[in-house]
Amino acid sequence: MDRMLVVVFGDESKAYEGKKALGELDREGTIGLYGYAVVRKNADGTTRVEQSDEPLPLGTLVGTTFGALLGVLGGPAGVAIGATVGLGVGGAADVYNAGVGEDYFYDVEKALTPGKVAVVAEIEEDWTTPVDNRMEAIGGTVFRRSISEVRDRLHQEDVAALKADIAQMKAEHAMSQAQRRAKLSEKIRLLDTKLQTKLEKQKERRDALDREAKAKADYMKGRAAAATSRASI
């Protein structure tokens, strides 16, 4: 099962130890580690996101669920990586796009107090014990959430609601007097613009998910091939 993982540590050295442990679990085949970053909470409330390009290039996952969660923790991912930014930049939209729920984000935010450092990762795991045991032994507090498709359902509901409003206004338009028709025409135009914007964003999201799925599949295939090669030696 694919999950978002945030592990909060008391200091940077522990966080990098936790990152190393995740890499070891990945190489053992216990988990699949798709992407990760180390996030430091500064004393002024801003965060610094430091990236690693292993095992998948982080750029592959920016704009997807992983990128959205990084955006929540440190501002827009493309800006925040390697830079100090405010936590609230784009926060509401990114919480929605991350698909892990506002409660998850706020739990993480509450634990990631100034001076603490977190490892943020997207992983595949069949059971939680291996990761929990390793992280807790290092002193990390683990927050995980299965990646949700709630955002997609909500987008579909938004689109359906806009289409229903447009249909109703068009019906009213056909039966209204000239002055009222002009006002309705403008409302219909504005709603149609919103609808087209949402449809474009849906397509962008689907394309991003397709790229993410392919990158993950190629990575897992390569890892399986490497394991087979090692076994045959």
CA dihedral 79→4→208→80, nearest 10 degrees, is 0
Q: Where are the domains of the chain?
A: 2-146, 150-232
Q: Which residues of 107-123 are buried (b: 16+ CB within 10 A; e: fewer)?
A: bbeeebeeebbbbbbbb
Per-residue pLDDT band at 85 (split at 50, 70, 90): very low
Taking the CA of residue 115 as centre, how many other CA atoms within 13 Å lie in the half-sphere pointing to its CB?
Answer: 1
Task: Report the alpha-carbon distance of residue 11 to residue 46 in Å, rounded.
Answer: 16
- Residue 52 region by backbone torsions, left for phi larger than 0, else alpha for psi between -120 and 50, else beta: beta
- Which residue did the predictor score with more confidence, 88 or 195? 195
Residue 138 pLDDT > 90 = yes
Position 84 scores a pLDDT of 35
| Average pLDDT rounded to a whole number, residues 165-170 | 88
19-to-24, 45, 52, 70, 152 alpha-carbon distances in Å: 9, 23, 10, 16, 31
Percent of the chain scoring above 70 in pLDDT: 70
